[in-house]
Amino acid sequence: MKAKKLIPILLAAPLVVALAQSYFGPSELEAIKTGGKTYADVFLNQRPDQALCSIHRNRLPGDLLPKFLEEQRALIKYPQSGKLMGDWKKGGAIFNNLQKANCFSCHFGSPVHLGGDVGPSLEKYGLKRGQSEAVQRYTYEVIYNSWAYFPCTVMYRFGAQGLLTPEEIADVVAYLLDPESDFNTKPAVGSK
């Protein structure tokens, strides 16, 4: 069953790659190869959506948006349990870890680290928005694949790029939304 499902995907993959616009030409990729294998591989394997954002310098023309958003939405997967809010304590460890999700570097609101202002402030996120299913889903999906809401934004696509598992993302959602979470009970570093 699994193998049967895979065959059409395997057949279609090269076709998609061939149809997609690539950003770097062959001679440019040759030049990039002088940077070493691990560096060059990142550009040789540039994804079609990354190429599109590169070509349009992060501002996609309107006529490309519907298809782009649809493709990004299709990448979103959910936890097996179906629960979009996990363990807020685990989520906090992920949120506040520079090597892991590094959320605090761009977003204000962490009670552990002084936040940046590249992204919007998330101060008392859960208290301001409540914990409705719609809020949970929106929060989960933005973290899973920011490009499904904000095409070509700087924010990492944590789930879509495999940086976090669906369960880890649910933990971060809990950290932001749970009224008991340190994020909502303790003052943000730098708050007045």
Taking CB under 8 A as the criterion, the residue among 9, 57, 61, 80 binding other proteins is 57
Determine the angle formed by the axes of helices 88-95 and 166-177, rounding to 10 degrees: 100
Distance CA 129, CA 177 (A): 8
**Spatial CB neighbours of 182, under 8 Å, sequence gap ≥ 6:** 88, 92, 111, 112, 175
Closest distance between other proteins and the C-beta of residue 110, in Å? 12
Distance CA 3, CA 1 (A): 6
Stretch near other proteins under the rule CB under 8 A, chosen from 88-96, 113-121, 132-140, 176-184:
113-121
* Nearer to other proteins among residue 138 and residue 156 (C-beta): 156
Stretch near other proteins under the rule CB under 8 A, chosen from 13-21, 35-43, 77-85, 175-183:
35-43
Helix (H/G/I), strand (E/B), else coil: 176: helix
**What is the chain's Cα-based Rg?**
19
Q: Tokens 């409705």 sit at which residue?
A: 132
Taking CB under 8 A as the criterion, the residue among 50, 97, 121, 131 binding other proteins is 50
Positions touching other proteins (CB under 8 A) are: 23-24, 28, 31-32, 34-36, 38-39, 41-43, 46, 50-51, 53-54, 57-58, 105-106, 114, 116-118, 147, 152, 154, 156-157, 161-163, 189-190, 192
